[in-house]
Amino acid sequence: KQSPDDIAQSVLGSALSAYAGKGPEKHANYPHNRLNDIVYPVRGGMEDWGYAGSWYSGIRKPCTPSEYGGYPKEKTMYTNAQLRVFNYLVETSDSKTPPASQLGSMTQILRPNGQGNGHIPRNVRLALLMTDIVQPYNSLVEMVPLGNDRVGGKIPDSKNLSLQCTEPLLDQVTPEVEPIHDRTEYTFYAGETLMLSWEVGGSFYVNDTHVVVAKWPKDSSLDIDKPGFGWSESQLESSLDIIQKTLPLKGPTRWAGGGLFGSPSSTEFSTLFRGGDLKLQPNPVLNDREIYPILPAWKGCINIPDSFNEESNEYVVFIVSTVDQGWKKSTSSMLPQSHLVNARTNSSWKMENNGHVVEGRLKWYSRPIKIKAIQRRDKDSVSKASGDVNQSLASPGAVDLD
């Protein structure tokens, strides 16, 4: 019998096996399947309890255990918001104490089957993927002016970035790109055209990703360090005065064939919506996150408004993505029940427990990128005043927006 979240559970299990890579004993990837099929049926096992113990009817029975000194009945009572996790059993090795030669090292730890591969690096990668997929996010890779007289210098030599803004940048990567964590504000000329490239993380399939430009809100409660100002999806929709929106793009992320594992065939691609084995084949170069920490798989162009007004020359740019909508389908009689799936596919989902809240949304916003427009006659003064900011735009860079 399949769980209501079987599609997402199967997709994630397949990707975990692929990114973990081959083990040092059997030189094969982790086999992966439903627990009943790959191990044996376990009634009331930890994996089932962690997933369904608080919402599956008829199995919650408070008690007062006496073993090990006992503990109160309250500790056996659960709210409806608890125990909705994906709990994976990883059988690391047939040997409980494998030899040190099989443990691995730090060398190429983020590359499946790298030089230092072993039990430990393999499971570090598996754990990192699990951590990454908890919540979708957007990371800006580059923002390149297309005009020759941009503020502060010449256009950077972006040999791997096409200046055509009509197609995504799948499999086009600049290895030297490194994240820059403190850049959230830029200065450009009014009327200038900018090409943006970005990565969508924390997900497997992008149903829609695009860029929006809006007037900078006049709101003292803005939190520029949080995605979408920290506002709810409905608040963003009602409050932003959007003046531009790029064409929507869609396709797999690096976890599901979009660059990291190469482009999937149509057959493999369809498994993203019905579960099963993705049969991902690791790429020996692009899956090394030490060399390629980010992957500019998407791009679009925006225009800074040409009409200049000293009182309204500041704009906010957001990358907006909708992901993994195939996960909301279910092969059972129930809809998906996990927080992981509902948080990204169900805008009505809201669960609270002990001060913690999981609230669903369909659109995931990046951290705000603030753009200040200046008139072209201010070129010399701005170049001198903010040369450090503009100089950093002269080479490929990234802003971490998650």
Q: In this predicted structure, which of 192-206, 230-244, 366-380 has the lowest mean pLDDT?
A: 366-380
Predicted pLDDT at 291: 62
Band of residue 156 on the pLDDT scale cut at 50, 70, 90: very low
Maximum mean pLDDT: which of 127-136, 145-154, 185-194:
127-136
Contact call for residues 377 and 194 (beta carbons, < 8 A): no
Taking only the tens place, the pLDDT of each residue in 323-345 is: 999 899 887 889 999 999 999 99
Predicted pLDDT at 296: 61
pLDDT value at 379 more than 50: no
User: Per the structure block, which two tokens stand in for 266?
Assistant: 């149509």
Taking only the tens place, the pLDDT of each residue in 251-292 is: 888 787 654 344 444 444 455 555 555 555 555 545 556 666
> Who wins on pLDDT, 159 or 234?
234
User: Per the structure block, which two tokens stand in for 242?
Assistant: 């959007």
Taking only the tens place, the pLDDT of each residue in 199-209 is: 899 998 889 99
Nearest CA among 355, 262, 253, 225 for reference residue 11:
253
Question: How would you classify the pairing of strands 298-303 and 193-201?
Answer: antiparallel
Band of residue 51 on the pLDDT scale cut at 50, 70, 90: very high
Averaged confidence pLDDT in the chain: 77
Please state the rounded mean pLDDT for residues 25-33.
Answer: 87
Q: In this predicted structure, which of 55-59, 195-199, 391-395 has the lowest mean pLDDT?
A: 391-395
> Who wins on pLDDT, 308 or 305?
305
Maximum mean pLDDT: which of 35-39, 133-137, 206-210, 368-372:
133-137
| Angle, vertex CA 211, rays to CA 199 and CA 257, nearest 5 | 30
What stretch of H or E contains 194? strand 193-201
Contact call for residues 236 and 283 (beta carbons, < 8 A): no
pLDDT value at 56 more than 80: yes
Q: Which residue shows structure tokens 């996010």?
A: 137
Percent of the chain at pLDDT > 90 equals: 31
Q: In this predicted structure, which of 168-182, 214-228, 330-344 has the lowest mean pLDDT?
A: 168-182
Model pTM score: 0.82
Band of residue 386 on the pLDDT scale cut at 50, 70, 90: very low
Q: Could you give the CA distance from residue 232 to residue 222 in angstroms, rounded to a whole number?
A: 12
